[in-house]
Amino acid sequence: MNDLYEWIRVSLQSAAQDGALPLAFQYGFVINALLCAFLIGPLLGGVGTMVVTKRMAFFSQSIGNAAMTGVAIGVLLGESYTEPYVSMFGFCILFGLLLNFTKNRTQLSSDTLIGVFLSVSLAVGASLLLFVSARVNTHILEAVLFGSVLTVSDTDMNVLLAVSVLVLAMGIPLFNQMLLASLNPSLARVRGVKVDLMEYIFVFMITLLTVACLKIVGAVLVEALLLIPAAAARNVTSSMRGFVLLSMLFSTLSCIAGVLIPMQYDLPLPSGGAIIMVAACIFILTTLIRVTFARFREARA
């Protein structure tokens, strides 16, 4: 795989030097960031529609926070602090599955429970990470929270690629079943859907995706990228197909614009923040469209 990345980088860089592409392309890390943007854009956009439909918005945020604890554990265990994937995946998957396990066994409504998990994971993660980073590198916390596109490595891209393939392999064939399981569990069971298993698979999928995207977008903002494009798409569509396709489009656009605009204009913005700001602009635009055009108007509840 690494040869392929190298080949893409070299050919794009030479194109940039010939003047066929903007100057930003002469940097390898810009190309890396864009490759990642093309992967996570459609993926987060597509999965985001499921997150919105299943009302799991805050779940991915708590996973993002858990990743901080994961990084801290990784550093403590001696993993490299830029790529502590074993600890991050390990801890986050445990965390996600535990959350779902608890959800099935308490009377608490799921937003309350996720709220509890979210604050606990934030507190533990931030404390541990600050404790660790004081000894290693004071910028770890910043990088985990807001992502750092400049340091995307080939390993990061391999992880992202592997996760993308896995998520597609689970998400596409099980799309209907996962939606039905949350729309009406009783009907889903009659139709032979293993509702509990679907919830676990969905949680697993979101966890993988969140951790893999952490490097680019950062812990705080992964969930924003899952939600905002889907919410924007929802403003202007009335069918599932439009919803999914537009959400993928918005998300990809945000990723690419968020990477390129700060480069082009020399703005000292973290990539994660820039990506979400672009997404937010799209959201505002679609909201305006919805408010302005009569065909989106509907009766108030």
Considering the complex, what minimum distance in angstroms separates the CB of residue 227 from other proteins? Answer: 14
Q: Which of 184, 194, 197, 264 binds other proteins (CB under 8 A)?
A: 184
Q: Residue 145 or residue 188: which is nearer to other proteins going by CB?
A: 188
Region 243-282 residues binding other proteins, contact defined as CB under 8 A: 243-245
Select the span of 72-80, 82-90, 169-177, 259-267 touching other proteins (CB under 8 A): 169-177
Residues contacting residue 238 through CB under 8 Å, at least 6 positions apart? none
Considering the complex, what minimum distance in angstroms separates the CB of residue 115 from other proteins? Answer: 20
Q: Which of 190, 267, 268, 294 binds other proteins (CB under 8 A)?
A: 190
Residue 43 sits in the site that holds other proteins (CB under 8 A):
no
Cα(71)–Cα(28) distance, integer angstroms: 26
Considering the complex, what minimum distance in angstroms separates the CB of residue 270 from other proteins? Answer: 32
Residue 119 sits in the site that holds other proteins (CB under 8 A):
no
Residue 94 sits in the site that holds other proteins (CB under 8 A):
no
Residue 191 sits in the site that holds other proteins (CB under 8 A):
yes
Q: Cβ distance 172 to 50 under 8 Å?
A: no
Q: Which of 223, 234, 254, 259 binds other proteins (CB under 8 A)?
A: 234
Q: Which of 239, 266, 268, 292 binds other proteins (CB under 8 A)?
A: 239
Residue 9 sits in the site that holds other proteins (CB under 8 A):
no
Region 52-71 residues binding other proteins, contact defined as CB under 8 A: 53, 55
Residue 175 sits in the site that holds other proteins (CB under 8 A):
yes
Q: Residue 189 or residue 280: which is nearer to other proteins going by CB?
A: 189
Select the span of 87-95, 114-122, 188-196, 251-259 touching other proteins (CB under 8 A): 188-196
Residue 80 sits in the site that holds other proteins (CB under 8 A):
no
Q: Residue 33 or residue 47: which is nearer to other proteins going by CB?
A: 47
Residue 189 sits in the site that holds other proteins (CB under 8 A):
yes
Q: Which of 172, 197, 288, 289 binds other proteins (CB under 8 A)?
A: 172
Residue 3 sits in the site that holds other proteins (CB under 8 A):
no
SS3 readout for the chain: CHHHHHHHHHHHHHHHHHCCCCHHHHCHHHHHHHHHHHHHHHHHHHHHHHHHHCCCHHHHHHHHHHHHHHHHHHHHCCCCCCCCHHHHHHHHHHHHHHHHHHHCCCCCCHHHHHHHHHHHHHHHHHHHHHHHHCCCCCCHHHHHHHCCHHHCCHHHHHHHHHHHHHHHHHHHHHHHHHHHHHHCHHHHHHCCCCHHHHHHHHHHHHHHHHHHHHHHHCHHHHHHHHHHHHHHHHHHCCCHHHHHHHHHHHHHHHHHHHHHHHHHCCCCCCHHHHHHHHHHHHHHHHHHHHHHCHHHCCCCC
Quick one: tokens of 186? Answer: 């009783």
Query: ∠ CA(169), CA(102), CA(58), 5° rounding?
Result: 65
Output the CA torsion sign for 256, 259, 263, 266.
positive
Name the site residues for other proteins (rule: CB under 8 A): 49, 53, 55, 107, 172-176, 179-180, 183-184, 186-187, 189-191, 233-234, 237-245, 298, 301
